[in-house]
Chains A and B, each alone.
Chain A
Amino acid sequence: MAVMKFGGRLLRNLFSKPATKMYPVVPREYPERSRGHIEFDPTACITCNICGKKCPTHAITIDKAARTMTIDRMNCIQCGYCAESCPKKCITIVPGYTAPDAQKVSETFQIPEKPKEQA
């Protein structure tokens, strides 16, 4: 049995830098592989809807007729499965979390028509 086993550590604390960061003043640096949010490049999309079918929370909707892609940002769980399965790699998952919001945010992208000769 001993008393003040933690004393040394506590004394060291007085003279060392804090373990935390002054968050909003010092922004957080994300590592390269961090899964923050999805980015979509509409120009490469072929509206195959693999991402929409694979998404575990059905956060992605592809409307083939209207040529739109909608991401429900609040449903997205950042698993990165869509980015992994996209055949054209037009979905990427990048560091940086989306800002908190009081309302459900969804984003709709218009997918441009492909020129006939490429089709």
Chain B
Amino acid sequence: MGKRTIVPFGPQHPALPEPVHLDLELEDETVVRAIPSIGYVHRGLEKLAEKRDYNDMIYVMERVCGICSFGHGWGYAGAVEGLMGVRIPDRAECLRVMFHELSRVHSHLLWLGLLADGLGFDSLFMHCWRIREKVLDVFEAITGGRVIMSFCKVGGVRKDLTPEMLKMVKDTCDMIEDEMRKTALVFMKDSSVRNRLCGTGVLTKEDVIDLCAVGPVARGSGVNNDVRTTSEMYRSLGFEPILYDEGDCWSRCMVRVDEIMQSLDIIRNAIANLPEGDVSVPVKGNAPVGDFMFRVEQPRGEAFYYVQGNGTKNLSRARVRTPTNINIPAMTKMLQGCNLQDVSMLVITIDPCISCTER
């Protein structure tokens, strides 16, 4: 048995897009235990919800995280609408699905780029981000914001789309699909990628169930806990959960690659079957005494929203439980027994979003 050493990893590390700290307990070059500590980007957004009007708060709530900004907006709006007993128009629901899937495409492309960067495949990283840029251009043209869209509001969405905009979304989807077919082959077949990913960081189905992992981490080990399965709107647009059974880094990567392709199909189906009508209903008055829970399948996994009303314009509690928060135990399990050089890549495979985790 070698001598045990503790190596600090992060909060500032070239592999990490956001600050999280890990104490890696090493035996020679093998990680025996990883102890995470968070708390570097806490902003207290949940507390702020108690001081703001529930209608204004959505613009703060969607700033929980930049990448899954639309998902947070939808989650909060959905929870407040449930509390108020409001039913939003079908067109608004369909537009939300469309933009959420576009967000998933850009989030997964960002992640694929980060993974390629973690592997040391920098040209692949640049190309993934080049494709992602097209989605951001669509966001800016339609909603006005490249990253923080401010498109969702309590009661629907803020603006309707013109036929030209729908055509632009469809053309962008076709373009991304064409590009992704070529880029996905690199992740699927290239030996330099597969040598690093296949068989690394294996998480068995039992581990995933024990540690309650969510999102592509769970689906990469064959556990379907996709919230979209329960949504009628998603099912009508042709959604099927994507599952891989190997549980290694490669299968988590392939879940995301396939989800991009599926999201593009869902967006095209949504455009073809977009219902006519209004895009929002006014939501006024005090929030009633009571509470409501709402779930959204974000790119990183299930996000859970809880709101509690107290008969005034302000909520007495708004709680967000984000996917990264849940996936951290799975990550520490994955790190046990891995080589030190794989740590940065394994941390990336859960797609850590620390801003989400700490709110």
Q: Which residues of A approach B to under 8 Å, CB–CB?
A: 1-6, 8-10, 19, 30-35, 54-57, 77-81, 84, 93
Contact = CB atoms under 8 A, between A and B. Distances in A.
A10 B194 contact: no
Interface in B79-118: none
Interface in B314-339: none
A113 to B, nearest CB: 30
Interface of B: 52-53, 56-57, 59-60, 63, 121, 123-124, 127, 130, 133, 140-145, 148, 150, 158-159, 182-183, 185-186, 189-192, 194
Given A54-B56, A77-B63, A79-B59, A1 B159 contact: no
Contacts of A80: 144, 150
- For the residues of A in contact with B, the DSSP-based class is loop
A33 B189 contact: no
A56 B150 contact: no
Contact of B52 (A5, A35, A56): A56
A81 to B, nearest CB: 6
B190 A5 contact: yes
6 contacts: A3-B192, A5-B189, A6-B123, A31-B140, A34-B140, A77-B148
Which of A56, A81, A93 has the most CB atoms of chain B within a 10 A radius of its CB?
A56
A20 to B, nearest CB: 9
Given A9-B182, A31-B141, A35-B150, A2 B191 contact: yes
Contacts of A6: 121, 123-124, 186, 190
B355 to A, nearest CB: 15
